Amino acid sequence: MNWSWMVDPPLLSLAKEIKQVIARKKDMSKAADLSAREKQLVRDIWEQTNVRNVDNVERTRAYLDYYQKHTEIHWALLAHLVSRNAGWSMTDLSGELLPRLLSVREQRDYFFFLERGNWLIFRDVYPQLLLYEESVRRQTNLFHLLPQFQVSVFTQALWNHFWKAGDCELLAAGLIVNEQQHLEVQVMQNESYKKTVLDTLPFTFQELLSLNQILFPCQGDKRPLRLVGESVSHFASLLERISLGKRLYVLLFREEKNLASVLAWASRQPHTGSRKDFWPHLFHDIKEGLPGKPHQRRVENCQLRSKMSPLYSPQLQQAWKQVEHAEPMEKDWYRSRDVLSLLRLPSLPEEEQVSMGEVYCRTLEKIELAVIARGKIFGT
């Protein structure tokens, strides 16, 4: 028999919470009904959010700062690690290899696509995190203020349920679903991004070659650092992005050795956006090669070839300027309780996982071969 959320007591409870939030929605949305203290709290939370929502480096740091204060909010650590990966993808666009495959316009379009998603998710979730923090400080539920931050009714119900039940895993799964649904409405269905990124040949090229991985570096004595994570495929699919987020969560929080070693590394290594942060044996944030010189293969079996300089991987704040973003449209993605079926987390895989370090090295080698082939064709 297929699993159904309707036989899962926590999800039944959440469904009732959603129904209550929808019933109260009209009254809850009136700012005029807030007390002076509540209005000030809303202003303070927006101000704190805007201060930290300036670029990928600051957002990534904010997520880790928050998790270290509130370890029950598992999603904050997952968001920190995924945001690190977004930063690495941003700097790849100005690094050693991708500028040899992409036009300047394509580099810029891809950066704005990644930056917009990173900004939107932070803008949506960070006020939620701060409101929870204030609720804990005051020891009272303040989630009736969530409509002031234009969050989904689903998310309001999710936090109310968490306040009562303290289910860390359900909250994490719910936030994964919420953020990907939010991204779907605000970015993936945006015609501009479809034209400049999602429907372009280079985006498909990356999908075909599996050139994207989410990597979680693990602290340890071995060098290079062990990497765990997942390959990204079918990024344009909402359901696949949600599934990926849940698999990453399980990999991190249901495998104790992963959680301890990943957190140790993240706490020790500040995020700069350069891949030198995790693999300095292959990457450097200072460009050492001569400009205009044809690319020669440098990586083989996860090591630099003899007498080869490291691949250039700049720090994010060297590579890209801060972006002024337009406000998102106000649109609640929630439509029906069917979404509750997406909250079930997968089990840890029983078979031993492929080394993500090896997978990532093969990716680098594929990109290098593509760069060399293009150079031979176009003389670059």
Contact 143, 156 (CB under 8 A): yes
Percent share of the chain, pLDDT over 70 = 90
Using 50, 70 and 90 to split pLDDT, how confident is the model at 179?
A: very high
List pLDDT tens digits, range 217-247: 999 877 789 999 999 887 788 999 999 999 9
List pLDDT tens digits, range 53-87: 999 999 999 999 999 999 999 999 999 999 999 99
List pLDDT tens digits, range 232-285: 887 788 999 999 999 999 999 999 899 999 999 999 999 999 999 999 999 999
- The rounded mean pLDDT for the chain is 90
Contacts (Cβ under 8 Å, ≥6 apart) of 88: 215, 273, 274, 275, 313
What own/partner pairs with CB < 8 Å and gap ≥ 24 does 98-107 have?
A: 98/367, 100/295, 100/371, 100/374, 100/375, 100/380, 101/202, 101/367, 101/370, 101/371, 101/374, 102/202, 106/200, 106/202
Using 50, 70 and 90 to split pLDDT, how confident is the model at 374?
A: confident
List pLDDT tens digits, range 190-221: 877 777 776 775 666 565 445 689 999 999 87
Using 50, 70 and 90 to split pLDDT, how confident is the model at 167?
A: very high
Q: How far is CA 152 from CA 41, 182, 324, in A?
A: 20, 9, 24
List pLDDT tens digits, range 316-326: 999 999 999 99
